[in-house]
Homo-oligomer: A and B are copies of this chain.
Amino acid sequence: MSALALDAVELKSFLDREFPQICDQLQIEKVTPMCARMRLLCDDRHLRPGGTISGPSIMLLADVTFYVAILGMIGPEALTVTTNMNLNFLRKPAREDLLCDARILKLGRRLVAGDCLLYSASGSPEKPVAHAAVTYARP
């Protein structure tokens, strides 16, 4: 669980190539062993009436950030897929970028589980907008 299999630059190239439709919305902030931080670049596509960020946008950010944390540890396994996500919506997100901190709690050969804390870019992780528990299956 020590060194990274892929660093932030390599992960960005991988996402750009494999998921072109999301890479203009999401930006890797940092990747460390068992962890990743990403940013949702908030624009009109992500908003709901009242100027709040939509649930599916929150889910997208949590899902991709956890995926990046996994790939940082195991390398480019595109077929790794989400099997479970439990989302708790805690506060109305502001109309601004959203940050997500993912941490892996168990890096198994078959299942990888952990969680994500999401908070507004001008806010703090102590006032999270949402929390997600996530499980991925490896091929």
Q: Is A8 an interface residue (CB 8 A)?
A: no
A13 to nearest B CB, angstroms? 15
B63 touches A56 (CB 8 A): yes
B89 touches A84 (CB 8 A): yes
A54 to B57, CA, bound (A): 12
Number of interface residues of A (CB under 8 A): 40
A to B CB contacts below 8 Å, 5 in the list: A19-B49, A21-B47, A55-B60, A56-B63, A81-B89
A88 to nearest B CB, angstroms? 5
CB-CB under 8 A for A137 and B111, given A59-B56, A82-B89, A85-B55: yes
From the candidates B90, B111, B113, name the one contacting A105 in the complex (CB within 8 A): B90
Contacts of A59 in B (CB 8 A): 55-56, 59
A135 touches B86 (CB 8 A): no
A106 touches B90 (CB 8 A): yes
Q: Is A133 an interface residue (CB 8 A)?
A: yes
Q: Is A115 an interface residue (CB 8 A)?
A: yes
A49 to B17, CA, bound (A): 10
